[in-house]
Structure 1
Amino acid sequence: MKFITEEDLRNLFRKEPFTTYEIKAGERLTPGGRQFLLDRGINMIEGDSLIEKGTEDEKMQHNEIETRNDWKQKMFYTKMKSMEVLFLITAEELLSRDVFLAQSVINLGKQFSNIKSDLNKDTVETFCCKECTGITVGNIYDDLDDCFEITEFHIQLEKGRDIIILHRLRCALREIEPFVLELFENNDGENEFCKGVIGKVNQSINTLSQMICSIFGGKKCQREI
């Protein structure tokens, strides 16, 4: 899905003014982009329909769909921004105790942030996989659940706090999938892209699981095969 922003339309209009804008397949106007066209009296064509010259019922139905899509998009982007902050908070908490682990979290956070740009490019870029006994290239995109249950026992360990804050980040990442599924609800044409985004979220989760295992068990994988 490619989102057409007000800035995109403003640049097009600056190059060559137009009176009609065609919303192509795979494109969606942002609220600012739609308002830009309305303010200038530019007709919007989607498929075979001239949106602004349709019946009142057609325009009302279209506006309801656009409004619903807009709040879904806003909800998803807001969740993504919250996750980006949580990556930074997690890295900051780790920094004084383990610089290398903190840097790993920062790197993972940067890769995770690319999901937002993936939405506009309609492609999903993956990142490197460091294999272990339980997590491999073949399953890192899957929902593998936790390698082991985190309990009150782990907070008593020397690096118990590191385990807990990484687990907190991992739990927060698991909340992303419902947002993605709702964003692409009833859109069969984007099922593969949706699966790709969820796969990248799972990859982030499983990478955190490997970090937690490395703290608890050293080089030994803690996942039960």
Structure 2
Amino acid sequence: MKFITEEELRDIYRKEPFTTYELLPETRLTPGARQFLTDRGMNLYRVDIPADKTVAVQNQEAPIQINDTGKPMERDHWKMKKLINRLKLIESLFLLISKESIALDLFLAQDILKLGKQFSTIRQEIQSKEKKEKIFFKACSGIDVDNCHQDMGDCFDITEIHMQLDKGKEILKLHQLRCAIREVESMVMEVYEGNEKEHMRCEEIIAQVNQVINCLSQVICVAVGGKECQRKR
């Protein structure tokens, strides 16, 4: 018996997207793999192979509908739950990194804590569906009020060179935090996928996420010691 894992399905999907999946005899899906198909509303078919193994014939019975009646609502619930839990995890990382930075640089710790509180308003807004206070933003020469809501990428690459700086540990943790926040965008898009009524709301949330990322990039720039914007041109 061979088990197909979620990682294998993701690799296949990454190389060539598909909408149906054929499950061969003597193979089974792991719970994660089945959830992967469920989240994307894909149909699962079983394939029968005759005893002589010379011809493969698809089972003519009705396909197993992964997205059968009642499932979409349940699937949306789990997508939202996954998003909220990820946001809470990131909020805790803000607190942890802020605490660990106090002894080295109190001002850095305060900036991280302040940004963490602003990030938490994203989750609160999603859960309450009410507009919260705007995220505070201070423009620099590379990021301004016109592009602060956009995906600007990293201002500069974080490499082994930064490990050797006085605040090397904090810089690496902040970069790790920034990478974690970047994953939120895809989760938000999954939650609101196919919901035209919430399209504008989805765009607003992603814009807020991008703004937090850009603010965090500014914090990293200061931690590195840059007195001038180091954004790559």
Q: Does the 8 Å contact 1:180/1:198 carry over to 2?
A: yes
Q: Does the 8 Å contact 1:80/1:116 carry over to 2?
A: yes
Q: Take 1:194 and 1:122, find their aligned partners in 2: how far apart are those partners?
A: 13
Match of 2:145 in 1: 137
Residue 183 in 1 paired to residue 191 in 2? yes
- The one-letter amino acid of 1:177's match is E
Q: Take 1:205 and 1:218, find their aligned partners in 2: how far apart are those partners?
A: 18
Equivalent runs, 1:21-40 vs 2, <5 Å: none
Residue 91 in 1 paired to residue 98 in 2? yes
Match of 2:121 in 1: 114
Structure 2: runs of 5 or more not aligned: 1-66
Structure 1: runs of 5 or more not aligned: 1-59
In 2 relative to 1, CA 118–78 (structure 1 residues): closer, same or farther, beyond 3 Å?
Answer: same
TM-score by length of 2: 0.67
Q: Does the 8 Å contact 1:124/1:197 carry over to 2?
A: no
Q: Take 1:126 and 1:203, find their aligned partners in 2: how far apart are those partners?
A: 10
Match of 2:135 in 1: 127
Match of 2:75 in 1: 68
Match of 1:29 in 2: none
CA RMSD of aligned residues (A): 1.6
**How far does residue 102 in structure 1 lie from its aligned partner after superposition?**
0.7
Q: Take 1:125 and 1:193, find their aligned partners in 2: how far apart are those partners?
A: 15
Q: Does the 8 Å contact 1:90/1:165 carry over to 2?
A: yes
Q: Take 1:188 and 1:125, find their aligned partners in 2: how far apart are those partners?
A: 25
Q: How many residues align?
A: 166
Q: Does the 8 Å contact 2:154/2:217 carry over to 1?
A: yes
Q: Does the 8 Å contact 1:134/1:223 carry over to 2?
A: yes
Q: Take 2:96 and 2:69, find their aligned partners in 1: how far apart are those partners?
A: 41
- The one-letter amino acid of 1:95's match is I
Q: Take 2:176 and 2:78, find their aligned partners in 1: how far apart are those partners?
A: 27
- The one-letter amino acid of 2:145's match is V
**Structure ranking higher on relative contact order (CA contacts 8 Å, 6+ apart):** 1
**How far does residue 90 in structure 1 lie from its aligned partner after superposition?**
1.0
Q: Does the 8 Å contact 1:118/1:125 carry over to 2?
A: no
Residue 175 of structure 1 aligns to a residue whose secondary structure is helix
Q: Does the 8 Å contact 1:118/1:124 carry over to 2?
A: yes
**How far does residue 217 in structure 1 lie from its aligned partner after superposition?**
3.7
1:101 equivalent among 102, 108, 122: 108
TM-score by length of 1: 0.70
Q: Take 2:113 and 2:223, find their aligned partners in 1: how far apart are those partners?
A: 17
Match of 1:203 in 2: 211
Q: Take 2:212 and 2:81, find their aligned partners in 1: how far apart are those partners?
A: 22
Match of 2:54 in 1: none
1:151 equivalent among 159, 163, 176: 159
- The one-letter amino acid of 2:175's match is H
Deviations 1:116-170, CA, capped at 9 Å, x for gaps: 2212225464222111000101111111000000011110112212211111111
In 2 relative to 1, CA 91–68 (structure 1 residues): closer, same or farther, beyond 3 Å?
Answer: same
**How far does residue 62 in structure 1 lie from its aligned partner after superposition?**
5.5
Q: Give the number of the structure whose residues are more often helix, by fraction.
A: 1
Match of 1:40 in 2: none
Q: Does the 8 Å contact 1:124/1:196 carry over to 2?
A: no
Residue 198 of structure 1 aligns to a residue whose secondary structure is helix
Match of 1:18 in 2: none
